[in-house]
Structure 1
Amino acid sequence: MKKTIISFVNILSGNISLAISTFLIASIIVSNYGMSDYGEYVVAQTLFMVLPILSRPLIWQAIVRYKTDIPLKELFYTSIIVEYAVGSFAFAIILSILWGLNAAFTFDYKVFENGYFVTISFLSLLYNIGSAIGFLRATERYFVISLIMGVSSLLKVIFCYFSTLDISDLSLYLLTFDAVTGLVMILICICLCKIMPGEIKIKYKNIDKITRFSLWGSLQSLLDLPISQLDRVVVSIFLDSALLGVFNLIKRLGGMLTQLSEPVTQILLNKFVRSDLQMVDIKSIERLAFLVVTFLLPFSIISFFMTFPALNEFMFNGELRGYSNHLLMYFLVQGISMAFIWVHPACLALSLMKKITVIVGVGNFIYITLLVLSVNFFGIYGLIISSAIQICFVIFLKRKFVIDELRVK
């Protein structure tokens, strides 16, 4: 129990530092540049994050899943080979397609100009952290991840505060910090592997096993793009850059609840992989999650209404005035998701990747379809309602498949 609490605190501290830095950077940009330029920064950040999702295998889940079957030292180096070999090949194809689209269509954002586009693409290629994150999570070195993320976040905030660059150049420098952070994380993992006993043996069967598992995870991440990134693209098409900035801030603020859930997800995945998952475990975890959310959600909503007006004026120059109802709705949607926090790690531990992929694909197709139909008429309300429908659909089916699988066992 003590080890679990320490792990939770370590992961949560990293998430909190990341969340705080995100809001501080947003506040600095909104205050110094305005909401429209913040929208420019969001577009650059979205492009930086989308490229790896489109091109890389989701390797960290494979490392955690097979850490009891393959020696960790061998597992880490095998994962690096898979990540760089598959990722670089796919990255070249995806970048060629995006380059053609960028040449064929005109976008009103400076980041799509050739020089900026090439630089962001290069930085995105360097941002290969799946193997490092997987290794550190599998060995439960959550403190190392939190420390690296915390230092990087602090440096980004300091640089942003003192910067006099225009928004496009500032965006590039902030993304450079992220790319360098990824390289540092990989080097630390290599050093940790050197002091571990055993030889490095790369076996084809392990490459095949990791590649298959991670590609299913990658396909799921690809299908999850509408929730994670592409909804910003839809908003940028139908609404202006200022509303894109508002929308991004609402997602960030509403996503604060998920900062609490992510440490639990990582710990549960390690626990489920180590143990023989049973129905009784799921029932007890489900009841506990429901009780925690029942307590946390009202507390979060009350705290929000007490602090939001002052925070809005102090951090965002009042730019979010009039959006408190949107935030409240988004908090409620995230609360529903948190109540079923155990579902996804249980699916991974039971190797239900194919079923998860189908569920996520259908759910996100519903989400993006509803979003396209509604955002032009209902604005940000359309996004929140679409998100709520998608979350309920995915959670219901994931839970059903987990219960069915455990009953068969």
Structure 2
Amino acid sequence: MTANAAFRNLVKNSSMMFLLNVAGAGVSVITIPIMLKIMGVESYGQLVLVQAIALAVFTVCTFQYWQGLLIALPGHRMGHVALRRAVLRSFAFESVGIAVVLVLLTALSLFGIKQFGKFSTLEVLLLSVAAVFPMLGTHTAYFRLVNKYNVLMMAGFLASLIKLVLLMLVARFSPSISMLVAAFVLPELVRFLLLFYMIFRWRHGVEGQLDANAINQRKLIDAGRWSTLQAICDLPVVQLDRIIIGFTLPGHNLGVFAILKRIYSLINMATAPFYSTSIPEFAARVNAGDIPAAFGLWRRTMKLLFGVSALAAFGCFALKGLWMPYLFPVLQDYQGEFFVVLLSAVVAGGFITTHSLYWALGNLKRSTLITVLTNLLYLGLLWLLTWAFGLIGALSAFLVHVFVVAAVKITLLNSKYTLQP
């Protein structure tokens, strides 16, 4: 495949994922005001805390074999039987993480910590399952490898849509926390079962020019190991900050923080698909020894994504008078925090494929070291600025972290690989 054809394929797949991501995220965002109406911002903050702990535990206790599949398999031919066997092996690793989550969250709930006070033990377990199932990477790897991105994303969109409908019914006919939890869990369970049903019914394999016997098993395991370590190192950014805020500031602060981070994620939906779809494209070129082509593709995506993320953030800010008073009136008292989140989203969205290129090049140790050091910086700033300035301090620490990661990763790549596109 030529460089231009690869770029068009990457944009096509990413665009479809972007549209479905935006639709799903839009539905997801609409569910938050309904949840706030049913349970209030403080209880919503407790829900966020329960799921943050569940996801943190799952990340620590799960070996990401599926990431290794995404790195080692592109460019090789693999039949559906062998691919299904690899999928089962990946899910076995994730099952260990699920079991640990259920045991630990049960113990915390029975211990009676006040931050879980709004939920029963069963509700805590159901919320944990609802948090973990969408994060399973096994089916994600399968649908990416067989080039069926649209199926994966459509399932996510439909799950979000069903969740919205169920929550609307709960708000109308039975506005209680127990019914809210049921509406939250059921769509994710159905999505989980449906995707695995497709995996075991379909007969799709991986297409490529290289023989399956040429797959580098050591590269596969190393990629899984280092991606697991990096995911653990990323916890300060994706989960630990919520846990720290949940146990440090009053309950409503975590609710507001979660809403702002959801807006951050919504803006990044414009660029996030490029992370997953670019890994196979970069890896195929690196595996074939064409590193200059991988860098050329990376530079083109960087230019495109910065403009896209900036446009998305500007639109969100310019139109805030139309949506904020109706969807999230609580945010009207947090305008400074809102601006900081938008700026963070622009920076993070613009360089997202840089992470993909690090994985494809096999620079796993360097990427992990950068993550460890910058996240340690983030934890220190988070503690200091949250203690000194509250919620605005926590979000400012996140902005500094995003700037530092972008600057370090891009500078090191350009200094080591002085290649022209």
Q: Which TM-score band applies after superposition, normalised by the shorter structure?
A: 0.7 to 0.9
Q: 39, 45, 49: which one pairs with 1:39?
A: 45
Partner of 2:276: 266
The amino acid of 2:36's aligned partner reads V
1:76 maps to which of 69, 83, 92: 83
The more displaced of 267-276 and 280-289 is 280-289
- TM-superposed CA distance for 1:116, in Å, is 3.2
- Aligned residue in 2 for 1:222: 232
Does 1:64 pair with 2:75?
A: no
Q: Say if 1:394 and 1:113 are closer, same or farther in 2 by CA, change over 3 A.
A: same
Match of 1:137 among 136, 144, 152: 144
Please give the root-mean-square deviation of Cα atoms over the aligned residues, in Å: 3.2
Given candidates 329, 332, 339, the residue that maps to 2:340 is: 329
Structure 1 contact 42–248 (Cα < 8 Å) conserved: yes
Percent identical residues: 19
> Which digits, 9 at most, give the CA deviation of each residue in 1:46-65, with x for residues without a partner?
24433432222223322221
**Contact 1:44/1:111 (8 A) holds in 2:** no
Is the 2:20–2:157 Cα contact (8 Å) retained in structure 1? Answer: yes
Aligned-partner residue type, residue 188 of structure 2: D
Contact 2:76 2:206 in 1 (8 A): no
Moved more, 283-292 or 364-373: 283-292
Pair 60,405 (structure 1): closer, same or farther in 2 beyond 3 Å? farther
Mapped contact 1:56–1:90 kept (Cα < 8 A): yes
In structure 1, the residue matched to 2:201 is: 191
For structure 2, the 5+ residue unaligned runs are: none
SS of 2:344's equivalent?
Answer: helix
Q: What residue is the counterpart of 1:146 in the other structure? A: 153
Q: For the Cα contact (< 8 Å) 1:152–1:178, is it kept in 2?
A: yes
TM-score (norm 1): 0.86
Rate the CA distance shift 1:89–1:48 in 2: closer, same or farther, 3 A: closer
In the aligned structure 2, how far is the partner of 1:325 from the partner of 1:221? 30
C-alpha spacing 1:284/1:357, structure 2 compared with 1 (3 Å) = closer
The answer as to whether partners of 2:14 and 2:274 remain within 8 angstroms in 1 is: yes
Residue 49 of structure 1 is aligned with which of 55, 68, 72? 55
* Counterparts of 1:84 and 1:37, CA distance in 2: 33
CA contact (8 A) 1:59 1:134 kept: no
Choose from 343, 366, 371 the match for 1:355: 366
Equivalent of residue 158 in structure 1, options 144, 165, 171: 165
Q: How far did 1:271 drift?
A: 1.6
Q: Is 2:381–2:397's contact at 8 Å kept on the other side of the alignment?
A: yes
- In structure 1, the gaps of 5 or more residues are none
In the comparison of the two structures, how many residue pairs are matched?
402
Q: Distance in 2 between matches of 1:80 and 1:30?
A: 38
Cα shift at 1:353: 1.7
For residue 350 of structure 1, report the CA deviation from its aligned partner.
0.6
1:111-143 deviation per Cα after TM superposition (whole angstroms, max 9, x unaligned):
675333444456667667322111111222111
User: Retained in 1: the 8 A contact 2:20–2:153?
Assistant: yes
Question: 1:235 and 1:114, CA in 2 relative to 1: closer, same or farther beyond 3 A?
Answer: same
Q: Alpha-carbon deviations, 1:213-257, whole Å to 9, x = none? A: 212211111111111112111111111221111111111112222
Quote how far apart the aligned CAs of 1:157 are: 0.3
Of 278, 283, 290, 2:291 maps to 278
Call closer, same or farther: CA 1:127–1:3 in 2, change over 3 Å. closer
**Distance of aligned partners of 1:212 and 1:100 in 2 relative to their CA distance in 1, 3 Å threshold:** farther
2:298–2:357 Cα contact (<8 Å) kept: no
What TM-score, normalized to structure 2? Answer: 0.83
Q: Distance in 1 between matches of 2:36 and 2:69?
A: 39
Query: Judging changes above 3 Å, is the alpha-carbon distance between structure 1 residues 168 and 40 closer, same or farther for their aligned structure 2 residues?
Result: farther
> Is contact 1:83-1:131 (8 Å) kept?
yes
Report the equivalent of 2:192: 182
Equivalent residue, structure 1, for 2:321: 309
1:363 Cα offset (Å): 1.5
